[in-house]
Structure 1
Amino acid sequence: MLKFRKLNAFYGTSHIIHDLDLDIRKGETFCLLGRNGVGKTTLLRSLLGIDVRTTGTIEFDGADISATPTHERARRGVGYVPQGREIVPGLSVLDNILLGCNARTDGQMTVPQLVWSLFPFLKDHLGRRGTNLSGGQQQQLAIARALATDPSVLVLDEPTEGIQPNIVEDIEKAIVSLNRDHGLTIILVEQKIRFARTAAHRFAILEKGRVAASGTAADLSNDLIHRHMGL
């Protein structure tokens, strides 16, 4: 579904991703792991075309999208849940979700029923300002907004970071369900090894902007974690 070939990514003159090759298959959950600052978020932003200069190619469903504007990548089916959630201040829960509908190709401006089944709390608080929700509730809202784009691949950047424990489990279950019950391809940046092993089909560990190790979830050994993610 996604192919990165000889991808290099830059912020100004800072070279973050180096000649990266990576394949992500349709229908899988793929987990990106690594220490802070190794290029995980930069790789996601390269896929979305957000504030990153790239060379090499990014292929999505057989088409080279390397030069495609960000809004067109969203319309092709790439949904994004950014680190920090980026809920729009002043907008209600409902209006934050409906923002995602602008990326749909069918013109529908309605909240998918899937959102309500995954996150019933949001349905009961549609009129509240999104920024008045707790961190975990805002994360649910950010995922709901991405689902409103009708994506075929959902990209999540550390979706459980800084979330209260009672909501972490709900978010983890929702991510697994989106893949296994609803067929969404998931790209997940995650620091929680337990969740990575549970949710992912395959993984890649980044180090200094390169793939240092990769494999199936069964290959994610304690030795690999110690070598590439330990302090």
Structure 2
Amino acid sequence: MLKFKDLNVFYGTSHIIHDLNLEIRKGEVFCIMGRNGVGKTTLLRSLLGIGVQTKGGIELDGAEISRDLTYQRARRGIGYVPQGREIVPGLSVLDNILLGCNARADGQTSVPPLVWTLFPFLKDHLNRRGTNLSGGQQQQLAIARALATDPSILVLDEPTEGIQPNIVEHIEQAIVSLNRDYGLTIILVEQKIRFARTAAHRFAILEKGQIAAAGQTADLSNELIHKHMSL
């Protein structure tokens, strides 16, 4: 479904990702892991075309997209939940969700029913300002906004970071359900080993902008974690 081919990514003159080759399969949850600063978020931003320069190829469903603008990539079916959530100040919960509809290729402007199924809290608070929600509730809102784009692949950057424990489990269950029950392909940057092992089919660990280890989640051993992720 998605291929990174000899991908190099730069912030200005800083070379962050080096000759990376990676394939994400349709219908799987793929977890990208690694210590802070190894290029995980940069890799996701290169997929969306946000604020980075790239060399090499990015192929989605057989089409080369590395020259597409960000909105064009979104209309190809890439939904993005950024680190930090980026809820728009001043807008209501409903209006934040509806922003995602601007990226739909079919022009629909209604909230997908699965949003209310996964996050009933949002339906009960449509007129509240999004920035007045708790961190965990804002993360639900950010996922709902991405789902409003009608994505075929959902990209989440550390979706449970800094969230109160009583909502973390709900978000984790929602991510698993989106893949298992709705068939959504998911790319997940995640530091929580337990959740990575529970949710993901395959993984890749980045180190210095390259893939240091990869495989089936069953291969995510404590030895690999200690070698590539321990501080």
TM-score when normalising by structure 1: 1.00
Q: Say yes or no: does 1:123 pair with 2:123.
A: yes
Aligned residue runs from structure 1 range 17-96, under 5 A:
17-96=17-96
Taking the aligned partners of 1:104 and 1:162, their CA distance within structure 2 comes to 30
1:141: how far off? 0.1
The equivalent residue for 1:194 is 194
**What are the within-5 Å matches in structure 2 for residues 210-225 of structure 1?**
210-225=210-225
Distance 2:106 2:68 in 1: 20
Q: Distance in 1 between matches of 2:155 and 2:105?
A: 19
Partner amino acid, structure 2, of 1:63: A
Partner of 2:101: 101
Query: Cα deviations across residues 203-223 of structure 1 (Å, max 9, x unaligned)?
Result: 000000000000001000000
Output one character per residue of 1:97-120: Cα deviation in whole Å (capped at 9) or x when no partner.
000000111111110100000000
Query: Could you tell me how far apart the structure 1 residues matched to 2:185 and 2:105 are?
Result: 19
Mapped partners of 1:220, 1:40: distance in 2: 17
Name the counterpart of 1:227: 227
- Residue 42 of structure 1 deviates from its aligned partner by 0.2
What CA distance in whole angstroms lies between the structure 1 residues aligned with 2:14 and 2:104?
34
Unpaired runs of 5+ in structure 2?
none
| Matched position secondary structure for 1:95 | helix
Q: Deviations over 1:117-143 (max 9, x none)?
A: 000000000000000000000000000
Name the residue aligned to 1:154.
154
Distance 1:126 1:230 in 2: 41
Tell me the SS of whatever aligns to 1:20.
strand
Task: Tell me, in whole angstroms, the C-alpha distance in 2 between the residues paired with 1:156 and 1:106.
Answer: 23
Secondary structure (helix, strand or coil) at the match of 1:198 reads: helix
Post-superposition Cα deviations, 1:190-213, rounded to whole Å, max 9, x if no partner, equal 000000000000000000000000
RMSD: 0.3
Q: Per the alignment, in what secondary structure is the counterpart of residue 31 of structure 1?
A: strand
Whichever residue aligns with residue 165 of structure 2, its letter is P
Q: Structure 2: how far apart are the matches of 1:48 and 1:105?
A: 16
Q: TM-score, normalised by structure 2?
A: 1.00
Which structure 1 segments of 5+ residues have no match? none
Following the alignment from structure 2 to structure 1, what is the Cα–Cα distance between the partners of residues 67 and 104?
Answer: 20
% same residue: 84
AA matched with 1:211: I
* Whole-angstrom CA distance in 2 between matches of 1:124 and 1:173: 20
What number of residue pairs does the alignment pair up? Answer: 231
